[in-house]
Amino acid sequence: MNRFAWVNARTIEEASAAVSATVADAMTELAGNAAAGDTAVLKAGGVDVLDLLKEGLLAPARIVSLRGIPGLDAVVEEAGGGLRIGSMATLSRLADHPVVRRRYPALSEAVRASASPQIRNVATLGGNLLQRPRCWYFRAHEYHCLRKGGGHCFAIAGENQYHAIFDNRPCAIVHPSTAATALVALGATVELADAQGAVRQVLLEDFFGPPDRDLQRENDLKPREVLTAIRLPALPAGTHMAHLKQGEKDSFDWPLADVAVVLELSPDGSCRKAALVLGTAAPVPHRAKQAEGLLAGKHIGEDLAREAGRAALEGATPLAKNAYKLPLFETLVRRAILKAALG
Ligand SMILES: Cc1cc2nc3c(=O)[nH]c(=O)nc-3n(C[C@H](O)[C@H](O)[C@H](O)COP(=O)(O)OP(=O)(O)OC[C@H]3O[C@@H](n4cnc5c(N)ncnc54)[C@H](O)[C@@H]3O)c2cc1C
Ligand code: SF4
**Do 204 and 193 form a contact (C-beta atoms < 8 A)?**
no
Total domains, the chain: 2
Q: Rounded to whole angstroms, what are the CA distances from 326 to 158, 166, 279, 313, 320? A: 19, 11, 13, 7, 13
Q: How distant is the alpha carbon of residue 37 from its chain centre?
A: 28
52-88 per-position pLDDT tens digit: 999 999 999 999 999 999 999 999 999 999 999 999 9
Tell me what pLDDT residue 31 has. Answer: 80
168 CA from centroid of ligand 2 (Å): 9
The CATH number of whichever domain residue 51 belongs to comes to 3.30.43
SS3 191: strand
**Residue finishing a domain among 67, 84, 100:** 67
Q: Which ligand is nearest to the CA of 128?
A: 1
Up-side HSE of residue 186: CA atoms within 13 Å toward CB? 28
Give domain status of residue 157, yes or no: no
Question: What's the pLDDT score for residue 104?
Answer: 98
* CA-proximal residue: ligand 1, atom 13 (nearest): 115
Q: Is 30 a member of any domain?
A: yes
Which pLDDT value is given to residue 251?
A: 80
Cα 24 to averaged position of ligand 2 atoms, centre (Å): 14
**Residue 55 within a domain:** yes
Where would I find the H helices in 97-157? 98-103, 105-112, 117-122, 125-130
User: 264 is in which domain, residue-wise?
Assistant: 239-342
For residue 36, is pLDDT > 60?
A: no
Average pLDDT value for residue range 158-185: 98
Q: What are the percentages of helix, strand and coil residues in the chain, rounded to 5?
A: 30, 20, 45
What CATH number has the domain bearing residue 333?
A: 3.30.390.50
